[in-house]
Structure 1
Amino acid sequence: MIKGEYKVIGVMSGTSLDGIDLAYISFKKDSNWQFKILNAETVSYSENWVKNLKNLTGLPTIELDNIDTDYTQYLAKIINQFIDKHNITNIDAVCSHGHTALHQPALGFTKQIGNLPQLSTLIKQTVICDFRVQDVLFGGQGAPLVPIGDQLLFSNYDWCLNLGGFANISSEVDNNRIAFDICPVNIVLNKYVEKLGLSFDNKGQLARSGTLNVQLYNQLNALAFYDETPPKSLGLEWVEKHVLPLINSFNLSTEDSLHTFVKHIAFQIAKIINQTSKASVLATGGGVFNSYLIEEIEQLTTNQIIIPSNRIIEFKEALIFGFLGVLKLRDENNCLKSVTGAIKDHSSGKIFSFNTSQ
């Protein structure tokens, strides 16, 4: 049913494995869409789940299916706890991204675990999920999906930059939204600080203390992906094949590896945002808390890097996946062909309705 106001829970798990982001949001449609984040939190993964989720790409199908079942049950537990903790009673839908296990759109498939129909039964709510699969079937990349939210919720910024497991960006060009993945970020940086027993590089202090390896820096920037034209997207498989072996071949200290890779990230991002001058760049995602990375980007651009409130920084993706679900409920396009390369704009995702008589 088309309504003027919706209350949903957006659920997001990113490739950087920071945890599960949950946001309870109110969306209201007047002349434009308005939103308010009512409650939000991140639930960190246990060591066991971090280990399981790191090693999904090479698993046999039956093992991946088993993890999918376990992860769906785990996700249901986390969502139920969030609902109980915040005494949430008015929910139109729970809109969940799941966790990306496989993403190879060029081969015609993508898989996010945690999107099984039983999620609806376990949390006793309507669930909207599996937002990427239909786009891939339509010949698209299945990513990025956030740009429709950038277009309708954050249109006052020239660029919307997300610094998560990967850096992705979106902008309006000739009345079309364009968006694409730029390069890996936390999915690489976090891997190297793990060697020191850390989960992330606090404010980029370790990277700041390192020195640049010019040869590695140049070889990273020469990777073929960076010369491809959008639409394009990245996955863990690409990182494992092209990035990690290259960095490891240099046998650098952790600090030097981090320093060089941060310089690489900043160069790739600046190359994109410098296509326009005097532009405003909204920066969100966990990478925003890496002060050294933000400084390096600012050194390479005259554009204004705008860092919003912590709630927007941390929960923008959960917010927008909630919004994707609202658009799906209204049967309105939530996936743009100009972004993903699909054959048409479409309303993506699966709806699992919970029957109260179940």
Structure 2
Amino acid sequence: MPDLQTKRYIGLMSGTSLDGVDGVLADFSGEGSIRTIATAYLPFPQALRDDLLRLQAPTDNEIHIEALAAKGLAQVYAECVAKLLADSGTPCDEVTAIGAHGQTIRHRPELGYTWQTGNPALLAELSRIDVIADFRSRDIAAGGQGAPLVPAFHQAVFGNEEETRVVANIGGIGNISLLDRGQTTFGFDTGPGNVLMDTWIGQHLGRGYDADGAWAASGKEIPALLADMMAEPYIALPPPKSTGRDLFHARWLNHKLAPHASVQPEDVQATLAAFTAETLADAVSRHAPAAAAVYVCGGGAYNRYLLQRLRQSLQQRHHQAQVHSTDALGISPNHVEALAFAWLAQRFVERQAGNLPAATGAKGPRILGALYPA
């Protein structure tokens, strides 16, 4: 059995962008503080990424494809864990548990389910560490959306009694947490983060993402297309709400593009960046008018053009919030979500609630996760 006094946990996160897994080994033994011991990132093998992308929509032989993809994902997760342990010189028996999010392949809270694949039993076998997985299902069982789960963690690590803040996670999907003088009042998914931009640049330039937003910066926004995108009914829905690739995918984008003939690919990319920025700014201005700052995490924090466009969108709404990276709060944007799942694993082990009902819409606080013993 691990020494529970060490309070060392590993968090593993692979998100909507489907690029790979971020891992963090963290020490929670400090009173009210988290010490990051090691970090790691492993890209997905192309065959695994292709299978996970296929599973985002109905396909033939789904059960077989998912079973093999879950096995492959667990093996990548185990490699990430091994790297964290080796880089830090930490024996596996000094880690209390691994919090493994898994890979979302369906998110349909309106139908009462969400599904994250990942084979946590195999991960426990390979790592020889207890694994906590399936964090979202209990919240949905309690009437919630199962997402976003990060607002409770944002409150714990970023809340400040002297400043009203917004934490904006721009992964594949965008979401915000409002920290009102240290207390999270709510959080929700705002719409696409990087998912549509990544899809478009992959189709046209064969790249996984738009580094620094350089391709978007080379284009010009298409106002009519942006208006059509902003007319998506999800954007105007009141929180609690959550979304994913079930809505924002290539078919959705092609449908929006259909009425707009002869558009240049770089102009579409600029418009997609504007769409992400506008949905975030709209959410902040409508739901967090008193926020003094927006702290950005996730891969979008490294897209300079996107952050510039977000600042512009906030200014156009006469919102005074400054836009920063979570680096300014002491945590790298790449590590926030992985740390969140390490934290959620700790909450499970200590039998404390991990959800925030104001964010997910659940009937009340719930202990999240399922245990797969080492």
Deviation at 1:281, TM superposition (A): 1.4
How far is the alpha carbon of 1:72 from its aligned partner? 2.2
SS in 2 for 1:198: coil
Letter paired with 1:316: V
Deviation digits for residues 133-179 of structure 1 (CA, Å, limit 9, x no counterpart) = 11112221110011111111110261111111011001146955301
Shift of 1:280: 1.6
Structure 2 unaligned regions, length at least 5: 315-319
- The 1:63/1:300 distance shift into structure 2, 3 A limit, reads closer
Moved more, 73-82 or 12-21: 73-82
Instruction: Look up the match of 1:94.
Output: 98
Are the structure 2 counterparts of residues 126 and 47 from structure 1 closer, same or farther at C-alpha, using a change threshold of 3 Å?
A: same
Distance in 2 of aligned mates of 1:24 and 1:304: 31
Question: Can you list the C-alpha shifts for 1:295-330, whole angstroms capped at 9, x where unaligned?
Answer: 111113221112133952111000111001111111
Where does residue 113 of structure 1 map in the other structure? 117
1:208-287 matches, within 5 Å, as 208-240=217-249, 243-249=252-258, 250=260, 252-274=263-285, 275-277=288-290, 279-287=292-300
- Shift of residue 241, structure 1, vs aligned partner: 7.6
Q: What CA distance in whole angstroms lies between the structure 2 residues aligned with 1:314 and 1:241?
A: 25
2:348 corresponds in structure 1 to 328
What pairs with 1:150-169 in structure 2 (closer than 5 Å)?
A: 150-156=154-160, 158-169=165-176
1:221-247 alpha-carbon deviations (Å, 9 max, x no partner): 111001111110011111138732334
* Per-residue deviation, 1:62: 3.5
Structure 2: which amino acid aligns with 1:69?
A: K
Query: Who is 1:82 aligned against?
Result: 84
CA contact (8 A) 2:136 2:368 kept: yes
Which residue of structure 1 aligns with residue 317 of structure 2?
none
C-alpha distance in 1 between matches for 2:321 and 2:127? 45
Aligned length: 352
Measured in 1, the distance between the counterparts of 2:79 and 2:280 equals 37
Give the structure 1 partner of residue 50 of structure 2: 51
Q: What is the distance in 2 between the residues matched to 1:11 and 1:288?
A: 19
Measured after TM superposition, the shift of residue 198 of structure 1 is 1.4
Aligned twin of 1:293: 306
2:338 match = 318
Q: Distance in 1 between matches of 2:340 and 2:108?
A: 23
- Residue matched to 2:361: 341
Conserved 8 A contact 2:100-2:131 = yes
Q: Is the 8 A contact 1:104 1:235 kept in 2?
A: no
State which drifts further: 57-66 or 193-202.
57-66
Q: Do the aligned partners of residues 197 and 240 (structure 1) sit closer, same or farther apart at CA in structure 2, a change above 3 Å counting?
A: closer
Q: What is the CA-CA distance between 1:91 and the residue it aligns to?
A: 0.8
Amino acid at match of 1:218: A
Pick closer, same or farther for the CA change 1:314–1:345 going to 2, 3 Å.
Answer: same
Deviates more, 1:98-107 or 1:61-70: 61-70
SS of 2:295 mapped into structure 1: strand
The two structures, once aligned, show a CA RMSD in angstroms of: 2.1
Other structure's SS at 1:72 match: helix
Moved more, 310-319 or 255-264: 310-319
Q: How is 1:6-85 mapped onto 2 (pairs within 5 angstroms)?
A: 6-30=7-31, 33-57=32-56, 58-59=58-59, 60-85=62-87
Return the offset for 1:4.
6.4
Distance in structure 1 (CA, Å) of the matches to 2:339 and 2:184: 22
Instruction: Give the Cα separation in 1 of the matches to 2:251 and 2:241.
Output: 16
Cα distance in 2, alignment partners of residues 81 and 176 from structure 1:
34
Percent identity over paired residues: 28
- 1:107-186 paired onto structure 2 within 5 Å: 107-156=111-160, 158-172=165-179, 177-186=185-194
| Cα displacement string for residues 261-282 of structure 1 (whole angstroms, at most 9, x for unaligned residues) | 1112211111122242451211
Give the TM-score of the pair, scaled to structure 1.
0.92
Q: 1:308 aligns with which of 326, 329, 332?
A: 326
Give the C-alpha shift of residue 55 in structure 1: 1.4
Whether the 8 Å CA contact 1:2–1:330 is kept in 2: the answer is no
TM-score, normalization: structure 2? Answer: 0.88
Q: Is the 8 A contact 2:22 2:338 kept in 1?
A: yes
Distance 2:210 2:372 in 1: 39
Distance in 2 between the 1:229 and 1:241 partners?
Answer: 25
- Matches of 2:201 and 2:88, distance apart in 1: 34
Query: Per the alignment, do residues 2 and 221 of structure 1 end up closer, same or farther by CA in structure 2, a change over 3 Å counting?
Result: farther
Distance in 2 between residues matched to 1:74 and 1:124, nearest whole Å: 15
The whole-number CA distance in structure 2 between the counterparts of 1:69 and 1:343 is 34
